[in-house]
Homo-oligomer: A and B are copies of this chain.
């Protein structure tokens, strides 16, 4: 097996940086805002631009895949090596809405390089992080003298991620054979900070929906009837209050069954991160930390399941008072789930729990916005993860630390539908302004990411050659 000497990768990347950034800027100029129906042609234009760019990179297969919504891009570059593993890179080519009037320093779709950064909508989320794989692959080939990658590389770049990936599950199911792989690399996440390169090892799942309570058939007078019939506002509050116990643990029976607890090593690794809680609270626009007893803030947002109330509405909300018992109450809720929790099982637990909690005279419905998103988690000792950490270590020249992602994303669909472990290779940092004004990517980090991507293929191939990886969840 040929291994690329590190200086060869570095010099190839340096030589081709100008062209690479010029091309990326061209892509950033295409306003592929999936949430805006008027920009559907731009989303298509973005997909077609990417197909052309991937062909120029050398992918023998690069094509647009249609969905019921915005088009995705698929590309494939088989390895020359027999028995090489297959790796699927995931990203997205659509972007969040952006307009100069929102407060951008310059036109969000006219990228600007300034102070070592590239500013523009999609620079970090996610065009920059998708595009780094093109130069990464070329550096891998050039430095190792190969004509094809050390692993079978596949690329799936969706066009509706910023709109909630409504057709992504169907897309994967429709093309399951062509997407077959041994691991997925998600390049749509970030790192702890410029100084602390990290690898994300999992995302939480999500189950959200609404509980509707109905009491009286209409609002009734509280002086005449209050205190003698059930009040939906009060019952909704009692339900929400019962969601957590005094330790702020979720109090729905069975909720924690099967939860993969943090091991002592992972808790230690989290604790070693340079976490400044006061600064984090400022970022959270919040004035105190509060959560499950016995866990730190990082553990709470990354590795613990939660129950949140996103909306609670009942009765009169105008100025002054109105002495009524409201007719109904509505609770919007979201559960974040961690490895070991199945959204379908939690759904049943929640449904049963609500029914058991409510008094006579309160009718109710529990609805969910979908089947839920499953959590994903790659164990610290998974060989593919260890290979990625080695590749990143070579690029950054630093110890790579571990994080997780508190949010939820389509990564879990890839894990579950393809049955493989998911790795996260991201070089964006929290200050990059995802979904916000003046989104940017740090050019040093972007080019270091290109190098990490270059080393990744040979590290994965070498590891696989020693022993093929276990499947997801195994």
In the docked arrangement, what's the CA distance between A237 and B362, Å? Answer: 17
Asked if A231 is at the interface of the complex by the 8 Å CB criterion, the answer is yes
Chain A residues with a Cβ closer than 8 Å to the other chain, count: 81
Listed stretches A27-35, A84-92, A102-110, A202-210; interface member: A202-210
Asked if A380 is at the interface of the complex by the 8 Å CB criterion, the answer is no
Chain B residues within 8 Å of A209, by CB: 321
Chain B residues within 8 Å of A309, by CB: 231, 233-234, 237, 314-315, 326
Are A310 and B304 in contact (CB-based, < 8 A)? no
Are A208 and B314 in contact (CB-based, < 8 A)? no
Asked if A466 is at the interface of the complex by the 8 Å CB criterion, the answer is no
Asked if A251 is at the interface of the complex by the 8 Å CB criterion, the answer is no
In the docked arrangement, what's the CA distance between A320 and B334, Å? Answer: 12
Q: Indicate whether A222 sits within 8 Å of B323 (C-beta atoms), given known contacts A286-B229, A292-B227, A297-B228.
A: no
Interface string of A348-360 (1 = CB under 8 A from B): 0000000000011
In the docked arrangement, what's the CA distance between A297 and B230, Å? Answer: 12
The one of B307, B311, B360, B363 that contacts A290, using a Cβ cutoff of 8 Å: B360
Interface string of A296-336 (1 = CB under 8 A from B): 01001100101111111111110011111111011010101
Are B244 and A241 in contact (CB-based, < 8 A)? no
Chain B residues within 8 Å of A363, by CB: 287
Listed stretches A8-16, A213-221, A388-396; interface member: A213-221
Chain B residues within 8 Å of A310, by CB: 222, 233, 315-316, 321-326
In the docked arrangement, what's the CA distance between A301 and B406, Å? Answer: 48
Distance of A180 from chain B, by nearest CB (Å): 30
Chain B residues within 8 Å of A243, by CB: 234
Asked if A471 is at the interface of the complex by the 8 Å CB criterion, the answer is no
Distance of A357 from chain B, by nearest CB (Å): 11
Interface string of A13-48 (1 = CB under 8 A from B): 000000000000000000000000000000000000
Are A306 and B229 in contact (CB-based, < 8 A)? no
Interface string of A175-209 (1 = CB under 8 A from B): 00000000000000000000000000000101011
9 shortest A-B CB distances, which residue pairs? A288-B361, A227-B306, A241-B241, A223-B407, A237-B240, A311-B315, A229-B286, A311-B316, A288-B360
Given A208-B323, A234-B244, A323-B334, output 7 extra A-B contacts at Cβ < 8 Å: A210-B321, A225-B284, A227-B304, A230-B286, A287-B360, A313-B313, A320-B369
